[in-house]
Chain A
Amino acid sequence: QKEVEQDPGPLSVPEGAIVSLNCTYSNSAFQYFMWYRQYSRKGPELLMYTYSSGNKEDGRFTAQVDKSSKYISLFIRDSQPSDSATYLCAIATDKLIFGTGTRLQVFP
């Protein structure tokens, strides 16, 4: 079983939509959950992280962890064309373990 699984998409939404991006993970001992954004042929950019369960909000972005179901989510409100990118979830331990990334396209 893979440590982190993520639907690769692509996900295509109209501007202004609420976007939900999701990952599942296998090891219940994981505590830190990261979200990165990656534009084409660029390095991953840290968006936000959460510790253990619960929500964390930063502007239009909300990260959510449900440890009981080993499910992590990133919600983007009022999505913009500039949000078009690949979104990577990652588990943070002594290193980062990435999911495959979900490609998001927001069209005007």
Chain B
Amino acid sequence: EPEVTQTPSHQVTQMGQEVILRCVPISNHLYFYWYRQILGQKVEFLVSFYNNEISEKSEIFDDQFSVERPDGSNFTLKIRSTKLEDSAMYFCASSPRDGGFTEAFFGQGTRLTVV
């Protein structure tokens, strides 16, 4: 069964460093997302991406964040200068959206720890 894969599974970084989280969405899906979940809190929307551009972003997704689809398979989230409060699970998701709504399939997540 097709699945969304994310690497790395765990990333530890020093405050102020740049990190890149990587995702390979399901191959025939057209819409891609990043969500995050701070420990003990709910899953929060960060950004959606379609047709090689951002279609929507939340207020969390500030100038420190960027997304890219550098080739036909990968989808990345970059955090330019990490803060302690960026520590969270980051989930990539993809959706075919052929039903006109977001039936999203999630990866297993990258646990980001900022020290």
Interface residues, chain A, CB within 8 Å of chain B?
Answer: 31-32, 34, 36, 41-46, 49, 88, 92-101
Contacts and interface: CB of A to CB of B under 8 A. Distances in A.
Interface stretch (B12-20, B69-77, B79-87, B104-112): B104-112
Contacts of A49: 103
A96 B31 CA distance: 12
A42 B103 CA distance: 18
A98 B48 contact: no
A94 B33 CA distance: 11
Given A31-B101, A99-B42, A100-B42, A44 B91 contact: yes
Interface of B: 4, 6, 33, 35, 41-45, 48, 55-56, 89, 91, 93, 99, 101-109, 111
A56 to B, nearest CB: 13
A94 B56 contact: yes
Nearest to A31: B101
Contacts of B91: 43-44
Contacts of A34: 103
A93 to B, nearest CB: 7
A103 to B, nearest CB: 10
Contact of B106 (A31, A41, A44, A101): A44
A101 B39 CA distance: 13
A95 B6 CA distance: 20
